[in-house]
Amino acid sequence: MKSTRLTLISFVVLLALPGCSHPRPSEDDVLNVTAKIPANLPVPAMDWRVISTSVNRTDKTTATLTGNDLAVKYSATGVYPEGSKLALMTWLERDDPHWFGARIPGTFVALETISVDRDPTRGPDRDSAGKIVATYKRYTGDPLREVTGSTNADARKAIILAMQPSPMP
């Protein structure tokens, strides 16, 4: 009787074991491959430190502002010295498949850069020659391509330079 009961329990356990296995998760389940950044970034934005993040509920985008060490040091002042480099990376948002109601980065939208340097232009007709200027550039697509002739470049530059740093531990 004991051996029959033991055999029956062993049989039930063996039947249950295949039900305990889990399918191997896909790459998108482990990594957010949808949010991949194009390989040809013109600046090492992913190597810089995060200054701030933001969410635009109207456009349904999320963005991360990074900067080189000098930009991070002066980010709380809003006045960036010569040599400061900033990069704002923006993604469309998407639903998080693992957390109901959560939103995560989706498709990469744009990279915007600001470089603070001396204006190299020489000549008496240039008022900004030798002064510190912030140069704004916008890149989109995959591979990234610079967008030229943007009508709102000055407004975007002002928004990025005014972003307040998020407190980081």
Domain assignment present for residue 87? The answer is yes
pLDDT tens digits, residue range 59-75? 999 999 999 999 999 99
In this structure, are residues 93 and 106 in contact, taking their beta carbons and an 8 Å threshold? yes
The pLDDT-based confidence of 139 (bands split at 50, 70, 90) is: very high
The pLDDT-based confidence of 16 (bands split at 50, 70, 90) is: low
In this structure, are residues 51 and 65 in contact, taking their beta carbons and an 8 Å threshold? yes
Cβ within 8 Å of residue 11, ≥6 positions away: none
Domain assignment present for residue 48? The answer is yes
**What does residue 11 show for φ and ψ, rounded to 5 degrees?**
-65, -45
pLDDT of residue 141: 93
Half-sphere exposure of 167 (CA within 13 A, CB side): 1
Say if pTM beats, i.e. exceeds, 0.85. Answer: no
Domain assignment present for residue 25? The answer is no
CATH code, 65: 3.50.70
Domain assignment present for residue 104? The answer is yes
Residue 162 has which token pair?
């005014």
pLDDT of residue 161: 96
- Give the chain's mean pLDDT: 86
Give the pLDDT mean for 91-95. Answer: 96
Of residues 62 and 119, more confidence is placed in: 62
**What does residue 54 show for φ and ψ, rounded to 5 degrees?**
-150, 160
**Cα distance between residue 167 and residue 79, in whole Å:** 18
Q: Per the structure, how many domains does the chain have?
A: 1
Amino acid at 43: V
The pLDDT-based confidence of 147 (bands split at 50, 70, 90) is: very high
pLDDT of residue 125: 54
Above pLDDT 70, what percent of the chain?
Answer: 78
The pLDDT-based confidence of 7 (bands split at 50, 70, 90) is: low
What residues make up the domain containing 104?
34-162
Domain assignment present for residue 68? The answer is yes
Domain assignment present for residue 9? The answer is no
Domain assignment present for residue 29? The answer is no
